[in-house]
């Protein structure tokens, strides 16, 4: 597909509202706060516009998002029997990250890609990709404002959740004046900010705490002293009682170590392949590292997959990261 520029907000809205049948809303697999918030904000908009919809993901929505309005509308891909001709994909950088939801696309379909990842390859028939936006929820906020769509309390909670998640609680460098203005506007719809911060960023299950305890015993600091990583094998995951999604709780313990530039979380999948999450502090572009391994993401937060076995994948990835760190601190 040819790389094209963005469609206008109105073109995107018109295309979505033009569908007489159900609109399919999808987001990336292993959905995070921005993906879930954006997908649900989109379906709330559709509901208010009197449109029918389905919101689908391969994976379950992590339980920390149970409080979000409309979360029970989410269906798993395998439980959906029909196909759709209008699809809105939010917070997803490429088709691969949509997982098996692409099997729900009708032979003749229109795919609308709304995202903020720098690595987004404009896979949609229509695209609204704003790489400078701090969250897909901010892209939706801008679109709703520009097209005169009222934001009610539910949509405000959803957009705030995505913004809070993707800015790390207004801490990352993508915490712009605009995002604070947007957050202030959303907060004026009346909800408790602590309730959302607690659920989205802070609260841990017992299994997650057990995973932290066991996971930290695998923490290694690379010779250069600027790379820290944690390795979660299937066995360790079983011992903790936690699920694969829970492993994210280990990430902050890698990059947060003082002096560390790149934090890495390796997790073994049941099939032996390895999922990798990368975070950098100041200088290393981890999106470009992830891209070398067929993944993607942002400069400070990215991910990719390796074939395994896990010991080999760790060596492979850390070698590339170490070279990038050496260059960055040369
Ligand atoms: Mn996002």
Distance 203 CA to ligand 1 centre (A): 20
Distance 34 CA to ligand 1 centre (A): 5
C-alpha pair distances (Å), 312 with each of 113, 190, 254, 306, 315: 35, 50, 20, 9, 5
Q: Which of 134, 169, 201 is the last residue of a domain?
A: 201
Distance 330 CA to ligand 1 centre (A): 32
pLDDT in tens, 63-82: 889 999 999 999 999 999 99
pTM of the full structure: 0.82
Residue 230, token pair as written in the block:
């944690």
Phi, psi of 276 (to 5 degrees): -125, 130
Distance 90 CA to ligand 1 centre (A): 9
Instruction: Please calculate the CA angle 29-32-167 and round it to the nearest 5 degrees.
Output: 140
Report if residue 179 sits inside a domain.
yes
Q: Based on the fold, state whether residues 111 and 215 are members of the same structural domain.
A: no
pLDDT in tens, 2-53: 445 899 999 999 999 999 999 999 999 999 999 999 999 999 999 999 999 9
Round to whole Å and give the CA distance between 109 and 121. 18
Cα torsion 152, 154, 158, 164 to 10°: value is 80
Residue 115 pLDDT > 70: yes
Identify the three-state secondary structure at position 240.
helix
Q: Based on the fold, state whether residues 211 and 240 are members of the same structural domain.
A: yes
Q: How many CB atoms lie within 10 A of CB 311?
A: 13
Q: How many domains does the chain have?
A: 2
* Those residues with Cβ within 8 angstroms of residue 317's Cβ, 6 or more apart along the chain or in another chain: 264, 266, 276, 289, 293, 306
Which domain does 142 fall in, by range? 9-201
Report if residue 3 sits inside a domain.
no
Report if residue 45 sits inside a domain.
yes
Q: Based on the fold, state whether residues 196 and 223 are members of the same structural domain.
A: no
Distance 217 CA to ligand 1 centre (A): 30
* Antiparallel, parallel or unpaired: β 23-27 and 53-57: parallel
**Whole-number average pLDDT of the chain:** 95
pLDDT in tens, 203-231: 898 999 999 999 999 999 998 899 999 99
Distance 308 CA to ligand 1 centre (A): 27
Encode 222-248: b = buried (16+ Cβ within 10 Å), e = exposed. Answer: beeebbbbbbbbeebbeebebbbbbbb
Q: Based on the fold, state whether residues 175 and 191 are members of the same structural domain.
A: yes
> How far does CA 249 lie from the centroid of its chain?
15
Report if residue 55 sits inside a domain.
yes
Q: How many CA atoms lie within 13 A of 301 on its CB side?
A: 15
Q: Which of 201, 217, 245 is the last residue of a domain?
A: 201
| Whether the Cβ atoms of residue 305 and residue 273 lie closer than 8 Å to each other | yes
| Whether the Cβ atoms of residue 38 and residue 136 lie closer than 8 Å to each other | yes
Question: What letter does residue 103 receive in the DSSP assignment?
Answer: G
Over range 107-135, report the average pLDDT. 96
Report if residue 4 sits inside a domain.
no
Return the pLDDT at 4: 54
| CATH number of the domain to which 127 belongs | 3.90.1640.10
Residue 116 pLDDT > 90: yes
Return the pLDDT at 173: 87
Return the pLDDT at 3: 46
Q: Based on the fold, state whether residues 123 and 264 are members of the same structural domain.
A: no
Report if residue 89 sits inside a domain.
yes
Report if residue 96 sits inside a domain.
yes
Q: Based on the fold, state whether residues 195 and 85 are members of the same structural domain.
A: yes
Distance 224 CA to ligand 1 centre (A): 31
Q: Based on the fold, state whether residues 40 and 63 are members of the same structural domain.
A: yes
Q: Based on the fold, state whether residues 16 and 120 are members of the same structural domain.
A: yes
Of 130, 121, 135, 227, the closest CA to residue 174 belongs to 135
Q: Based on the fold, state whether residues 17 and 72 are members of the same structural domain.
A: yes
Round to whole Å and give the CA distance between 51 and 86. 12
Over range 174-183, report the average pLDDT. 97
Q: Based on the fold, state whether residues 43 and 121 are members of the same structural domain.
A: yes
| CATH number of the domain to which 314 belongs | 3.10.310.30
Distance 232 CA to ligand 1 centre (A): 24
Return the pLDDT at 2: 40
Residue 1 pLDDT > 50: no
Distance 253 CA to ligand 1 centre (A): 21
Q: Based on the fold, state whether residues 95 and 179 are members of the same structural domain.
A: yes
Q: Based on the fold, state whether residues 14 and 137 are members of the same structural domain.
A: yes
Distance 239 CA to ligand 1 centre (A): 31
Q: Which of 143, 168, 201 is the last residue of a domain?
A: 201
Distance 225 CA to ligand 1 centre (A): 30
């Amino acid at each position: 597909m040819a790389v094209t520029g963005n469609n206008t907000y109105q073109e995107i809205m018109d295309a979505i509202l033009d569908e007489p049948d159900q609109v399919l809303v999808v987001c990336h697999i292993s959905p995070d706060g921005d993906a879930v918030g954006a997908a649900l904000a989109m379906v709330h908009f559709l509901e208010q516009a009197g449109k029918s919809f389905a919101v689908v993901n391969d994976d379950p929505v992590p339980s920390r998002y149970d409080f979000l309005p409309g979360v029970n509308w989410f269906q798993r891909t395998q439980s959906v029997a029909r196909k759709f001709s209008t699809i809105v994909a939010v917070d997803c950088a490429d088709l691969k990250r949509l997982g098996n939801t692409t099997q729900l696309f009708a032979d003749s379909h229109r795919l609308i890609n709304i995202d903020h990842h720098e690595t987004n390859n404009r896979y949609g028939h229509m695209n609204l990709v704003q790489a400078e936006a701090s969250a897909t929820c901010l892209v939706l906020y801008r679109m709703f404002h520009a097209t005169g769509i009222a934001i009610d309390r539910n949509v405000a909670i959803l957009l705030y959740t995505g913004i809070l998640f993707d800015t790390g609680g207004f801490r990352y460098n993508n915490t712009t004046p605009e995002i604070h203005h947007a957050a202030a506007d959303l907060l004026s719809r009346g909800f408790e900010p602590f309730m959302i911060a607690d659920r989205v960023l802070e609260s841990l299950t017992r299994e997650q705490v057990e995973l932290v305890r066991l996971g930290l015993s695998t923490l290694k600091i690379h010779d250069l002293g600027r790379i820290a990583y944690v390795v979660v094998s299937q066995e360790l995951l079983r011992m903790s009682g936690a699920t694969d999604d829970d492993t994210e709780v280990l990430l902050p313990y890698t990059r947060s170590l003082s002096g560390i530039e790149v934090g890495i979380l390796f997790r073994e999948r049941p099939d032996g392949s390895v999922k990798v999450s990368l975070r950098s502090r100041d200088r290393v572009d981890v999106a470009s590292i992830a891209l070398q391994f067929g993944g993607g993401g942002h400069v400070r937060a990215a991910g990719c997959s390796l074939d395994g076995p896990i010991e080999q994948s760790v060596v492979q990835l850390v070698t590339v990261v170490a070279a990038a760190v050496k260059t960055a601190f040369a």
